[in-house]
Amino acid sequence: MDFAHRKLSARYPTDLVAWRALKKHYSDSMRTKDLVSLFARDKERADRFTLTAGDLTLDYSKNHVNATTRKLLVRLAKEAQVPAAIEAMFTGEKINVTEDRSVLHAALRAKMSDKVALDVDGVLEVWETLNNIEDFVERVQAKKIRGHTGKRFTDVVNIGIGGSDLGPVMAARALRPYWHEKMRFHSVSNIDGTQFADLTQELSAESTLFVVCSKTFTTIETMTNANAARAWVADHLGHAAVGDHFVAASTNHEAMDEFGIRPEFRFGFWDWVGGRYSLWSAVGLSLALVVGMDTFRRLLNGGRVMDLHFRNSPLDENMPVLMALIAIWYNNFFGAGSQAILPYDNRLDRFPAYLQQLQMESNGKRVRTDGKPVKCDTGMVIWGEAGNNAQHSFYQLLHQGTRLIPIDFIAPVRSSGASQEQQDLALAQCLAQSEALMDGFDEEGLEPHRVHEGNNPSSTILFPELTPEALGQLIALYEHKVFVEGVIWGIDSFDQWGVELGKKLATRLVEPVAKGAGYKGKNASTAALVAKVGKLR
Ligand code: F6P
């Protein structure tokens, strides 16, 4: 029987031998051990708990983990059949069981010789699609494809939401030094219309290319914004211009027909690419248009480097696996409910938001793949902010608050295209914070409010520079981390049924909200709010 459909009832993680051993290890030993003493006991600790993969170095020595913890966590991964699950993903098994789909974002960045699920429908089309994207990107950049009035495109607007927005937006910001000198990237995602209204103040319709990005091409936010953009183009340049100013990335060809996307301006992908895993597909088109295809391919290659590491490294030297295990250790044994992501490079300022969807939409689940309820907590709340801004905002709580919040510090060593002196200052802040959080501060007679108890755990991910390759590795690292967590919990990390109900209710509320009356919902509160909207309008 294949991995996805194997009987799971025996595999509640809480029933595994390793889980029980970890529980005992926690209460007998690690619960009360402080981080400083772990370092005092082992002079080699910093080395022993540091790992490299591609350009990334992960120092996880400032975590409540010793050699026994690591051994037991790795045993947990083995007992939960993580190696079989990894192979199941790369060979195209339908591990997204509730949607009966393979999960093959890794195929989007693989070389054919990697043999990632070549027998799955669509996989052999990946390289041709990439060539089509490349051809389009190059023709736009070379001014061979122009706007309706003959002007070159200088502004690319990504219209999408969720995975069809966060990936391109995060990566476009991260790769700012790689932008074509004559091109700018913009995005519109929220439905309320303000983003688009503000954007039109700085755009000229003649030189703007809209990329409508939607796997389903039915998402209300995206279609509302796409329709607004279409009306704006028609208003400024006439209806005939629409076909010249819109391209799309989607799996829904019928809907693209209806919208009026020209066949040669469509870029497809496949149902085995999940929305939050889709940056590597045609969803990356707006990014590729601005940074160019060489840079986009370098990003893909970075993802591939992490895929090879993930697929081929032993569990105890496998970066995504270890990060997942450490997260589970805090989540399920220490009871930590959230994790902070703190990048020390402003170009990564949307990375925490990107990871929120990746991790919380993937692992915010309460039933297992066999339909039974989980017996332990699953996905943690993920939050964060660019490091220095965060220091002057919520670090107080990290240093002296009451909650255990494991942290991932993320920092490039060299500045990409800005002042190295300033990046060194950022790095010094980053390292100082992780040290202060761990070491704390106390001395005889110090008033209580000045005491830093310390013992706060963190991991630090360093890399030479925020290149497209490093970014690709970083994204794929977290993708695989999320997958491993899901395998251990026995949940489907690739569906998102929890977002459907809200969407349905919103449809029912559209008319009553417009009228400010007439909502007969299940509760008096919503009806009263609708009436209040009517009065306030
Ligand atoms: O509502 C959640 C979601 O389905 C995400 O999973 C997805 O990334 C987003 O909406 C956008 O979906 P689409 O690309 O189909 O417009």
Q: Cβ of 152: how many Cβ atoms within 10 Å?
A: 17
Q: What share of the chain is helix, strand, coil (3-state, %, to 5)?
A: 55, 10, 35
Q: Are strands 56-59 and 50-53 parallel, antiparallel or unpaired?
A: antiparallel
Please choose from 216, 278, 356 the residue to mutate so as to test ligand 1's pocket, defined by most ligand atoms within 8 A of CB: 216
Residue 10 included in any domain = yes
My answer on whether 383 and 286 are in the same domain is: no
Residue 118 included in any domain = no
**Angular region, 74: left φ>0, alpha ψ -120 to 50, beta rest:** alpha
| Ligand 1 pocket member 275 (CB < 6 A) | yes
| Ligand 1 pocket member 162 (CB < 6 A) | yes
My answer on whether 262 and 317 are in the same domain is: no
Distance CA 446, CA 63 (A): 27
Cα 385–391–397 angle (5° rounding)?
Answer: 95
Nearest CA to ligand 1 atom 3: 162
**Angular region, 371: left φ>0, alpha ψ -120 to 50, beta rest:** left
Which of 164, 217, 154, 215 lies closest to 189 in space, CA to CA?
164
Task: Ligand 1, residue 163: give the atom nearest the CA.
Answer: 8
Residue 308 included in any domain = no
Domain housing 512: 499-536
Nearest CA to ligand 1 atom 6: 275
Q: What is the pLDDT of residue 4?
A: 57
Q: What is the pLDDT of residue 15?
A: 95
Q: What is the pLDDT of residue 3?
A: 64
| Ligand 1 pocket member 189 (CB < 6 A) | no
My answer on whether 242 and 185 are in the same domain is: yes
User: Which are the contacts of 69, defined by CB distance < 8 A and separation ≥ 6?
Assistant: 22, 25, 30, 329
Separation of CA 165 and ligand 1 centre (Å):
9
Residue 306 included in any domain = no
| Ligand 1 pocket member 214 (CB < 6 A) | yes
Q: What is the pLDDT of residue 39?
A: 97
Q: What is the pTM of this model?
A: 0.97
Beta bridge partners of 373: 367
My answer on whether 184 and 252 are in the same domain is: yes
Q: Which residues of the chain have pLDDT under 50?
A: 8-9
Q: Are strands 208-213 and 155-159 parallel, antiparallel or unpaired?
A: parallel
Q: What is the pLDDT of residue 11?
A: 79
Residue 181 included in any domain = yes
Separation of CA 496 and ligand 1 centre (Å):
9
Maximum alpha-carbon separation in the chain: 78
Nearest CA to ligand 1 atom 1: 499
Task: Ligand 1, residue 250: give the atom nearest the CA.
Answer: 14
| Ligand 1 pocket member 52 (CB < 6 A) | no
Separation of CA 69 and ligand 1 centre (Å):
38
Nearest CA to ligand 1 atom 9: 162
Task: Ligand 1, residue 219: give the atom nearest the CA.
Answer: 16
My answer on whether 512 and 472 are in the same domain is: no
My answer on whether 338 and 351 are in the same domain is: yes
My answer on whether 389 and 514 are in the same domain is: no
Our count of domains for the chain comes to: 3
Is residue 84 within 8 Å of residue 488, measured between CB atoms? Answer: no
Residue 213 included in any domain = yes
Please choose from 190, 213, 496, 507 the residue to mutate so as to test ligand 1's pocket, defined by most ligand atoms within 8 A of CB: 496
My answer on whether 33 and 78 are in the same domain is: yes
Separation of CA 361 and ligand 1 centre (Å):
10
Q: 358 burial class (0-12, 13-18, 19+ CB within 10 angstroms)?
A: buried
| Ligand 1 pocket member 215 (CB < 6 A) | yes
My answer on whether 259 and 327 are in the same domain is: no
SS3 86: helix
Distance CA 190, CA 350 (A): 16
Distance CA 498, CA 378 (A): 14
| Ligand 1 pocket member 506 (CB < 6 A) | no
Q: Cβ of 412: how many Cβ atoms within 10 Å?
A: 26
Task: For residue 32, give the H/E element and its range.
Answer: none
User: Which are the contacts of 199, defined by CB distance < 8 A and separation ≥ 6?
Assistant: 157, 186, 188
| Ligand 1 pocket member 168 (CB < 6 A) | no
Residue 265 included in any domain = yes
Residue 116 included in any domain = no
| Ligand 1 pocket member 225 (CB < 6 A) | no
| Ligand 1 pocket member 163 (CB < 6 A) | yes
Which of 300, 393, 395, 331 lies closest to 73 in space, CA to CA?
331
Write the CATH number for 179.
3.40.50.10490
Amino acid at 105: H
The position carrying tokens 């991995």 is 3
Count Cα neighbours of 10 within 13 Å in the Cβ-side half-sphere.
6
User: Which residues are designated catalytic?
Assistant: 361, 392, 503
User: Which are the contacts of 464, defined by CB distance < 8 A and separation ≥ 6?
Assistant: 55, 412, 413, 414, 470
Structure tokens at 188: 């519109």
Please choose from 164, 362, 503, 505 the residue to mutate so as to test ligand 1's pocket, defined by most ligand atoms within 8 A of CB: 164
Please choose from 105, 158, 161 the residue to mutate so as to test ligand 1's pocket, defined by most ligand atoms within 8 A of CB: 161
My answer on whether 197 and 337 are in the same domain is: no
| Ligand 1 pocket member 278 (CB < 6 A) | no
pLDDT tens per residue, range 93-132: 999 999 999 999 999 999 999 999 999 999 999 999 999 9
My answer on whether 136 and 261 are in the same domain is: yes
pLDDT tens per residue, range 289-322: 999 999 999 999 999 999 999 999 999 999 999 9
My answer on whether 335 and 469 are in the same domain is: yes
Nearest CA to ligand 1 atom 16: 214
Q: What is the pLDDT of residue 8?
A: 46
Task: Ligand 1, residue 164: give the atom nearest the CA.
Answer: 14
